[in-house]
Amino acid sequence: MKKIFIDDGSTGIKLAWKNESGEVQTALTNNTFKKELSPPTGEAEVYNYRCSGEDFSFSPMSTSIVMTNNVQWQYSAANAVAIQHALQKSGLKPQRIHALVTLPLSEFYDHNNQPNLANIERKKASVAQSVEFLSGNAFIIEAVSVSPESIPAAVAKVSELTDLDALLVVDLGGTTLDVSLIQGETASLVKVEGNANIGASSVTREVDQALRTVNGQSSWRIADAIVKNRHNDGFIANRLFNEENVPAIKESLDRSITSLCNATTDFLTRFGGFTHVAVVGGGASLVADSVKSALKISDKRFFVSDDPQFDLVRGMLYISGE
């Protein structure tokens, strides 16, 4: 049974696995689904799904997509559908698989920093629920394993440290901020905390609202694309009905990013005793400079991922020894 490592984030599903030659393969799909079936459109393939009595379809340009920027997304039918869709788009043939997924630190651990067994079992049941792919055969998830987020994403950096070092891992995803302090060399956890109220999707949400104000309409996909291309005025202008509204969109971007940076750095005041810092996760580029400045860390002790989307699944695969 093939093992598929899955980062089922709020904005997208990231997969990693090894092919028959032992090479690591990755795939990424966006979470843009609506709660209804889409009609056939000629030669273009339509991705319609049914799960727990609900209908879903992949619809990247829909203005009424299922919102995923909340913790309950982790246990929802929409989450199971998004995982199934990512598998369908991966290039793998439908088969029985072992899904290795994660939970945010705030969900994986309880207030005593012990595994929250109720949440872990709930996550397993959610991922394993049956999803019907209405256009073909579905992947069957026969086994589910759950691990904490953030920690695997920095495993490569931890391996470079000595036993006198400690790495602060700042993992900013779409919905949650997960922070862990890891003792160097032994990679043992010193402290973990998560905040489900801080996430990069807050920036996308602000841009989405700004687009609705100036264009009269928006889609989450376009708002997210503007965030990713925020330094390209031409890209932003091409998404607006009136180019004169570029400053309004940029003001919204700047304001929301500043708010996100302030919330992130305020949360980091809970931690001390680190010698190195790693900023990972899909929102890393939004807050990295502010984190570095606030923590007064030197360049050689500060690490920002150059592949934040796949850090977690690659780290999970590495730790597994696959």
CA distance 280 to 303: 9
Tell me the mean pLDDT in the region 146-167.
Answer: 82
Question: What domains sit in the chain, N to C, each tagged with a CATH number?
Answer: 2-148 (3.30.420.40), 161-306 (3.30.420.40)
From the list 216, 162, 151, the residue with the least C-alpha distance to 185 is 162
CA distance 252 to 240: 14
The three-class DSSP label of residue 164 is coil
Q: pLDDT of 258-269, one tens digit each?
A: 999 999 999 999
* Token pair listed for 265: 């750095």
Strand partners, 171: 178, 280
Residue linked to tokens 């934040």 = 308
Tell me the mean pLDDT in the region 14-29.
Answer: 92
Instruction: Pinpoint the alpha helices (H) of 90-152.
Output: 105-108, 117-128
Q: pLDDT of 216-234, one tens digit each?
A: 988 888 998 999 999 999 9
Q: pLDDT of 267-315, one tens digit each?
A: 999 999 999 999 988 899 999 999 999 999 999 999 998 777 888 888 8
pTM for the structure as a whole:
0.83
Q: What is the pLDDT of residue 244?
A: 95
